[in-house]
Amino acid sequence: MGEPNRPTFRRLPHLIVPGTGTDAAYRGRSAPISGGRRDISDRRAHATKLKGELRLAETSARSAHVAVDESVRGDGFVLTVVGWSAEYSLALERLDAHGAKLLSVVPAGEDLPERALIWLPFSAVSKFISLFDQFATEVTPSGSPKNAALVANISELRLSLLHELRQPAGLFLG
C-alpha cells in the first residue's frame, strides 16, 4: 500500500471574490430608526472629546503602521463609531462625502447603541476635525449647529480592535 496523495500547496489569495465588484456609497436606511438627533448642551466639549478620541486613534494607528511591512500597509485605519442609544441613529449616509468608507454596521439593540466600523484614510482625519470644529462653533441659517446630523449622535470614536471586526453570533441567523 502506497503513501496517500498529499495535497499540493500553491500560493493563493486569502479570499476569492468571483466577478468584479464596485465601490458604492452607503445609501442609508429607507426611513430613519428614530429621526431624532441628540441635543448636546455643550457642543464645544462634545467636539473637543471627539477630536481627542480621533487624534488618539490616528496616533495609535500611525504607530502600529510602523510595525507593518510597507507592501501591505494601508493609508488609513478602521475606526469604531459608537452611537448614544437605540433612540438616536448614526448618520452613516454622510460619511462618504467626507472621505470615510462604511465597512459594517451593528444595529442598536435593547441595551446597546448602534456601532459602525469605517475606513478612514489618514488624509481625511483633518476633514473630520474640521467638521467637529464647525459643530462646536457654527450654526446653519435655520439656527441648528452645523454638521449636527453627523456629529451629535456620536458618543465615542476609537481605533477598531480585531474583536470588533467580527459580527456578533446569531446577528443574521435569527
pLDDT digits (tens, 9 = 90+) for 133-149: 999 999 999 999 999 98
Reading across the β-sheet that carries 154-159, which strands appear in turn? 101-106, 115-121, 76-83, 154-159
Burial of 106 (0-12, 13-18, 19+ CB in 10 A): middle
**Owner of C-alpha cell 465601490:** 23
pLDDT digits (tens, 9 = 90+) for 41-96: 899 999 999 999 999 999 999 988 887 777 777 789 999 999 988 888 888 887 87
- What's the average model confidence in pLDDT over 149-160? 92
